[in-house]
Amino acid sequence: MANDKNRPLVLVFAGSDWCGPCIKLDKKIWKSSEFKDYSEENYILYKADFPRKKANKLSDTLAKQNDDLAEKYNPSGHFPLVVMLDQNGVVQGKTGYANTAPSEYILLLNSFLK
């Protein structure tokens, strides 16, 4: 998809029901209208979630897909981890939660692009 649309991929590793900084990042950045509007035109966004509560359990297929992505891009198991990839899956930069405005977070992500 990133290749088809010629956009970078923002890969987010999160624990949506147990990781405090992940939840803050989701509420403050990902769900902001500013980030949503910008990302729709400029990024492909994929959230690899690793919930712990049974009620939030992922399908086996999705859990396996997320595990495979974590093995390749997040072997240390950092949460949250945001990985900026180019269209070919090459890592351009990594970051985590930053207590900042959505516009500043967008600038941070864009600073990874070459």
Residue 108 scores a pLDDT above 90: yes
For residue range 68-93, list pLDDT tens digits in order: 999 999 999 999 999 999 988 999 99
Phi and psi at residue 27, in whole multiples of 5°?
Answer: -70, -45
40-75: per-residue pLDDT in tens?
Answer: 999 999 999 999 999 999 999 999 999 999 999 999
Domain boundaries, the chain: 2-111
CB 17 within 8 A of CB 51: yes
Radius of gyration of the chain (CA): 14
Measured between alpha carbons, how far is 32 from 35 in angstroms, rounded to an integer? 5
CB of 107 closer than 8 Å to CB of 38:
no
Residue 8 above 90 pLDDT? Answer: yes
Q: Does domain 2-111 sit in CATH 3.40.30.10?
A: yes
